[in-house]
Each structure stands twice: as C-alpha cells, then as structure tokens.
Structure 1
Amino acid sequence: MNDTLTPEWIAVDWGTTNLRAYAMQGASVVARAASGDGMGQLTTAGFEPALMALIGGWANAASVRIIACGMVGSRQGWVEAPYAKVPCTPLNRPLTHAPSTQNLDVRVISGLSQTTPPDVMRGEETQIAGFLAFNPGWDGVLCLPGTHTKWVHLSAGEIVSFQTFMTGELFALISEASVLRHSLTADGWDSAVFAEAVTDALSHPQRLAARLFTLRADHLLHDAPAPTTRGALSGLLIGAELAAARAYWLGQNVAILGTQDQARAYQTALRPQGIEAMLVDAEKATLAGLTAAYRSTKASS
C-alpha cells in the first residue's frame, strides 16, 4: 500500500469470492487493491476488518466516502440493502449506510428484484448503470456472463426485465463433481466442437440431459480428448441457455459485459444466429456505475 496516497473517495466491488477496492480521484483510478475476502468467506462482523486490511494503507481511508456494490449488500453481507423492483433505472435510489465501529462512511448500492418470474441481482445493476453511462439512449439486451449469467432488457434508460441462468455454476458442478470429471482431466478447448454443440442444443434443448452423458460415453468408447469434451459441455449448456433466452436476444441489439473467454464464448455462440454482439469492459462499466452512485451522494448531501 502507498501511505502517501490520498483518494477523494473509494470504490468497492464486493462479490461472493473476491473483494476489489479502487482509490479514486473523480472518475479516475489512482490505485487498486484486491483480496480473496469475498462475502462467502466472511461473517457480518468480518466485513469492516477485511476492508480496512485492504485499504488501511491509503491515507485518510477512514474519513473518505466509500461506495460499495455487490454481495456486500446481501442478507449475508455487511448490511442488507433492500431490493428495488423493476422496471426501474439501475440506480437513483438512496444508498444504505453500513454500520461501522471505526466511523467509516460506507454506502451500499441496492440490488434489483423482479416479481414474475422471481429473480434478483446484486452488483450487476451497477455495471448496467455504467454501461448506460457509456451508451446513453441504448435500447436492447445486455448479457452479463458469469457463474449466474443474466439477460437484461434495457429501454429508455430503464431495466424492463431480466432473467438469470445458472449456466456457469452448472458447468463447474458437472465438470468437477459429476461423472464427466473423469473425462476432463486435461486442459484445452475445442472451438469447433463448441460451435457444433451450441447448434445442437439450440435446436434440441430437450435432449440436454441425454447429450451430456454421451460426452462420457464418447470418452470411454472413442477416447475423446478432454478439449473435445470441455468444448462440447460448454456448448451444450450455453446453447440450452440461448434457446431459453431466445425472446431476449432474437432480433435485438445485444451487448455482452466482459472481454474474457466466457464473454467471447457467448459472442461466438450468437454469431451464427445473426447477432453480432459487442463486448464491453466489465471493470470499466463497474467503475462508471460506482462513480455515478458517488456523484449522486454528493449531489444529495
């Protein structure tokens, strides 16, 4: 840590597995820090010490405003920030003050909820706000890949509806805890097999459970290599997701929040369907959303 650094404010992105903090001057990052102290590793009393262990070396960290998003505001987080119901704008709601034994000024952004079908998000609303800050007036669908991928319909600056898919978590569970783990003992990825599997699942999503077992059988009978199995598994799961989310992306402007492998996989899967989705830097979107939230607290104080 740099003990001569004096940020104007601090942005915090606090997820289930990771904690990320940014020392900010206006909208610019002047320093960043990260740890593995995600919500899933902490008790309620552990949030403040975890944050101070990360930012305590920044001068005046205890006296500047801290804006946080993500699972820090969940029921198991530092403080529960109530959900706002869609349709609504991503932000424009009062932030929730987190209790502090050190008089920290920590304000947590609320997540969003949907009544029918029931759904929730925390952290993504901040990324969506940042995306809209970069793309004002943008109408279409935003895909946010992750452990729980979200498809979000945006119109006139509001989140109209959204739907969450546990595709990333299913991939992890199947590849690590199912019989298919025995067929995924080496690294690698077969992009051609991935594309074929996406098409297969899009055309016949009802066959998903059966097709998954054929991957194991193909390894046993034909010694299918791990990159083939991994590409097919990912393609089948993403293809089934696209089939279920067709009403979101068909005929729409689509943007994908992310630039890494998972985001590119979704972009590749959508391309044969006539959708050329643009990729968006997720960290920049998060910071733009946190900056918008910070500015709203200054305007109201």
Structure 2
Amino acid sequence: MTRPDWIAVDWGTSNLRAWAMAADGTVLDRAASGDGMGGLSREGFEPALLRLIQPWLGDTAVTVLACGMVGARQGWAEAPYAAVPCAPLSGAPVRAPAADPRLAVWLLPGLRQDRPADVMRGEETQIAGFLATDPDFDGVLCLPGSHSKWVRISAGEVVSFQTVMTGELFAAISRHTVLRHTVGAEGWDDAAFADAVADTLSRPETLAARLFTLRGAGLLHGDAPESARARLSGLLIGAELAATRPYWLGQRIALIGATGLSRHYRAALAAQGVSADRADADAMTLAGLGAARTRHEEIAR
C-alpha cells in the first residue's frame, strides 16, 4: 500500500477508527478496533494506536489528526473546549505526547456551552465537515446517537446546542431493567414506533409510566419483542422531540448519523410536518478532519 500522507482518527469512548489518507483526500485504507477511550489508561493510547496503524507507518513521521474522546480529560491528553458561539474548529489542536518518533499526533478540542451547561467532543468535527460541504447552511443539525445533539447553526458558527441522552437510555433500559425480558435485540415495527413518538411528544410527563406498559403488553397481550423495541425507541425519541421543540419547530433541519437511526428520527420529524435532510456520519467526520488539517497550519507542517 502507498504510504499515507496523513492519518485521520475518530477515537470515541468504545471504539477507535482510523483512515489512511492521501494528500488529495482519497482514503487509501481503513481500520478499526475496540480500543475506545473508556478502556484505556493514559499510557495505553499510543500502543493502541500503533497496534491499529502499524502497517501504514514508514521510517519518517506521519501526522495523525484525531477527534473525539481521545482529547477528553481522561484521554491521551486534554484538548480544552472552545466556547460557543464559535466556528466548530475554533479551538487550537493539542499535540499529544508520543514516544514513537513516527507519530505526530494532534487532538482536536470539543465545544462547550456555559448556560445551560453542555459539552461535545467529536460532533464538532462532523459539524465542520457538514459546513465544508454546505457552507451556507443556516438552521439546526441533529446528530442522533448515544448522546443526541441538537445544534443551532448560523453564519458558519455553532450558536447553541442541547444534548439528550436518548441512545444511552435506550441501551440501559433495554439491557439492564425488567424490560430486558420484553424488548427484542433486533426487529422493528413502524406503526408501534410512530404511535409511541406521538404519545410522549404530546405528553412527555407520562414517559416513566408508559415504559412499564411495554412489560404489561408483552405479558398480557403477547406483544412481539420487535414491537416493544420500536415502541421503547419511539417513547424516548418522542420525549426528546418534546424537550427540543424550540430547536426543530419551524427550522431547516439536517441529520448527521447512521442510516438506520437517522431514518427513525426522520420519520418522527416527518410526522410533525418537518422535513429533514441526511448526511452520512463517517463522510462528515472525514470531511471535518480534512477541514481541520487545512485550517491549522501547524498540523500540515
């Protein structure tokens, strides 16, 4: 394989992903592992990266540009947050210490909002990638995931944002509560999802009570596990939409996320008469890392 001009890295809590990049932005190769930030000590980051990208390295130093939780306080090195309102790549990258002379590792900072208190790491890079492809966008970006982000964009800047723990709640409830006996690990029911979204969007205060009805419906009426899965997701997303109504009502909306999850958010918004565009999360991450490399001259040298 041709040696990469630089290496793009998305390093989250659970996973590590890397792309070998040519100078023109072509992806030469890609690799991934389960060596997420959450399972590593500070001394473990460099060995984890070397295990993944060793085949791409030559005799000279290569620039590695990383976003995500690798720059958190518990990460390889802390990359301080930039305060909004600001452009998504406003913060200065931080050089991570590396013993191997072949590595020149730079960590991108996240964004912070003081009131109400909120932070993001990794999503700012996807936002930058989206704005690189649509620089005139003015509206709201929704980035669904473990911690969904709703981000107000104007004049190329992140004005404000709100985080909702919908994905993490879904995982915790479906795996670690009594509903683990009811909610299927796969499958889907579009009608059950739509009904559940409408339920908690109109009455979010009923969420906790509605959750246990999934258990009752499975025991008493034989509701299928895939229906319970869709209904649980709908209840949580409906409550999320109720909480974030000021962000999406009457706004131009675009989703940045995985295909399946984005489809559910798109359907929930469409039921409220809101049309949402969709951008691929991986593509936006790579575009954002490329934009960061161009923006910060000290990385490119």
Same fold (TM over 0.5): yes
Equivalence for 1:39: 37
Structure 2 length-normalised TM: 0.96
Q: Alignment identity in percent?
A: 59
- 1:235 equivalent to 2:240? Answer no
Which whole-Å CA distance do the structure 2 matches of 1:258 and 1:140 have between them?
Answer: 17
In 2, the alpha carbon distance for the partners of 1:185 and 1:206 equals 25
Q: Could you tell me how far apart the structure 2 residues matched to 1:190 and 1:12 are?
A: 36
Question: Equivalent residue for 1:136?
Answer: 135
Residue correspondences, number = 298
Find out whether 1:7 has 2:4 as its counterpart: yes
> Separation in 2 of the partners of 1:96 and 1:33?
23
State which of 94, 97, 117 in structure 2 corresponds to 1:96: 94
Q: CA–CA distance in 2 between the matches of 1:97 and 1:61?
A: 20
Distance in 2 of aligned mates of 1:291 and 1:171: 33
Paired AA for residue 47 in structure 1: F
Instruction: Provide the rounded CA distance (Å) in 1 between the counterparts of 2:185 and 2:4.
Output: 45
8 Å CA contact retained: 1:87, 1:159: yes
Instruction: Judge conservation of contact 1:259–1:279 (CA < 8 Å) in 2.
Output: no
Partner of 1:224: 223
Alignment partners' CA distance in 1, 2:39 and 2:30: 21
For residues 235 and 124 of structure 1, do their structure 2 counterparts lie closer, same or farther at Cα, with a shift above 3 Å needed? same
Deviation at 1:93, TM superposition (A): 2.8
The CA deviation at 1:295 is 1.4
Runs of at least 4 residues off by over 4 Å: none
Q: Which amino acid aligns with 1:272?
A: A
Partner deviation per Cα, 1:94-150 (whole Å, 9 max, x = no partner): 210001111321010000100011100000000000000000110000000110000
CA contact (8 A) 1:127 1:282 kept: yes
| Distance in 2 of aligned mates of 1:62 and 1:202 | 56
Q: Contact 2:187–2:226 (CA<8 Å) still a contact in 1?
A: yes
- Secondary structure of residue in 2 paired with 1:82: coil
Matches within 5 A, 1:54-93: 54-60=52-58, 63-93=61-91
TM-score (norm 1): 0.96
Q: Does 1:160 align with 2:169?
A: no
- 1:267 is matched with 266
Matched, 1:127 2:119: no
Structure 1 stretches of 5 or more lacking a match? Answer: none
* One-letter amino acid of the counterpart of residue 183, structure 2: L
- CA deviations on 1:241-280 (whole Å, 9 max, x unpaired) are 0000000000000000024211110000000111110110
Preserved CA contact (<8 Å) 2:82 2:90: no
2:277 partner amino acid: M
Determine if contact 1:14/1:39 at 8 Å carries over to the other structure: yes
Distance of aligned partners of 1:42 and 1:273 in 2 relative to their CA distance in 1, 3 Å threshold: same
Counterpart residue number, 1:24: 21
**5+ long unaligned stretches in structure 2:** none
1:66-113 C-alpha deviation (Å, 9 max, x unpaired): 110000000111000001110000003321000111132101000010
1:299 to partner: Cα distance:
6.7
Compare 289-298 and 130-139 and name the one that shifted more: 289-298
For 2:160, what is the secondary structure of its paired residue? strand
Task: Return the letter of the residue paired with 2:7.
Answer: I
Say if 2:81 and 2:91, in contact at 8 Å, map to a contact too.
no
Query: Partners of 1:187 and 1:126 in 2: how far apart?
Result: 30
Asked whether the equivalents of residues 62 and 102 of structure 1 are also in contact (C-alpha less than 8 Å), the reply is no
